[in-house]
Amino acid sequence: MILKIDQVNWPEAFPEKPEVRVEVSNDHEALYLRWHVKGEQLRAVTTQDQGPVWEDSCVEFFCQVPGEDHYFNFECNCIGAMVGSRRKGRAEEVVPLTPEQMARIERKCDFPREAFEERDGLFEWTVEERIPLDLIFQQPIAKGQKLRANFYKCADKTKRPHFVSWQPIDLPKPDFHCPQFFGTIVLE
Each residue's pLDDT tens digit, 29-77: 999 999 999 999 999 999 999 999 999 999 999 999 999 999 999 999 9
Percent of the chain at pLDDT > 70 equals: 100
Cβ atoms of 44 and 77 closer than 8 Å: yes
Confidence label for 140 from pLDDT (cuts 50, 70 and 90) = confident
Q: Quote the pTM value.
A: 0.96
Domain containing residue 112: CATH number: 2.60.40.1190
Q: Which residues contact 118 (CB under 8 A, 6 or more apart)?
A: 41, 42, 43, 157, 158, 159
Residue 139: what pLDDT? 84
Structural domain boundaries enclosing 121: 2-186
| Domain count within the chain | 1
Give me the chain's average pLDDT, please.
96
Q: Work out whether the CA dihedral 25, 151, 90, 50 comes out positive or negative.
A: positive
